[in-house]
Structure 1
Amino acid sequence: MTQIVVIAKEPVAGRVKTRLTPPFTPGQAARLAAAALEDTLRAVVAVPVRHRVLALDGLPGAWLPEGFTVIPQRGSGLDERLAAAFSDAFRLHPEPAVLIGMDTPQVSPDLLRAAAVALDGRDAVYGPAADGGFWLLGLRRPDPALLLGVPMSRPDTGAVQLARLRGAGLTVAVMPELDDVDTADDALRIAAGAPGSRFAAALRAVTGAGARPGAAVTGAGAP
């Protein structure tokens, strides 16, 4: 069996999706982040796996559905936090892990299921992001050396990570490329491609009449 791990930040204004500000306010960006996170978690819930883990920086909220084991993130840089999330999840449940973040609210249960199936016959599974990073990484066994030192948030992050996996002699299944929500343009494009998502609804709410980008929005919860 394969477990799914989500690594995420609590959607608190000023701490998440800061590249959306401007044009959005910190409160609006947090509302979008909460919706993206809930879309992601709901997609994971719909995948028939035995274990679901949330590696969380912060505290759980109403956006968290049942069925997740919540563990704290460890480490400073993202490479350290990713490596720790794999190690800690494997310590809880010693089985292969597919890890995703909260930046792809358009992800579907079918796509996650395909990643889990691919990991059954490979050492690793890798999902490239359109910005040069990666939106998914799966490992049959955690190994910090596969992640530590990989430069994060750069146009070559994904290429370096994939080269690290293949350089270690691992067999790697490559998933379809997805967009990450980083900028306002990303948000508009992703919402247009997933109009029925909570993320799209949240974007409509914060850009609708009376809630234009830059206007104050109360709270950070998903709609």
Structure 2
Amino acid sequence: MLKLHDIHTYYGRIHALKGVSIEVQDGTIVTLLGANGAGKTTMLRTISGIVPASAGKIEYDGKNIEKSPPQKIVQQGIAQSPEGRQVFTELTVLENLRMGTYPRKDKSEVNKDFDMIFNYFPRLKQRINQLAGTLSGGEQQMLAMGRALMSRPKILLLDEPSLGLAPLVVKEIFHIIQEINKRGVTVLLVEQNAYQALRIAHYGYVLETGRVVLQGTGDDLRRNDEIRHSYLGR
């Protein structure tokens, strides 16, 4: 469904991605692991067109998208829930969710998707008219994910959804990610919580300084001694 082939991305003179190649199969959860600065967020931003690749190819549903602008990429079915939530704090929960529908032309179907979002995240329905800036961290994460889902993506890019959240909320978020995937949305997940990520991922890649250094199924990576030592604390 999504293929990156020999992708190079720069921030100014900083060579952030150095020939990265990955594949994301339709209907799977794929996770990207690595230390801070490894290039995980850059990869998501490159796929989204926010930071353009300087070399290499990104193929989505058989089409090259590495030169497409971000809005076109969203319209084609790739949505991102960014690191740090980045909700619109001065807008209500409902207004934030409506922002996710911006690229859609089937406005008559939008109300059905509100029902879907409130099924995933009942707390958002309870706070529908509350300003997003007054929500808890966990609720803001749910709102960021809900906003991305309102564009009806085929692939959902999630950047550190568990960051700064209490363990019970983290467990809830990961359960919802699995439910979203079961309903047909492919997920590419960047996550510091390697244990939780590998528990739900079908496949994973490990990045170090802009390169893929290890890959395998979630189970294989969870059993890998190097991963257990570096990321799982075991």
The answer to whether the superposition gives a TM-score over 0.5 is no
Report the TM-score when normalising by structure 2.
0.29
Structure having the larger proportion of residues in strand:
2
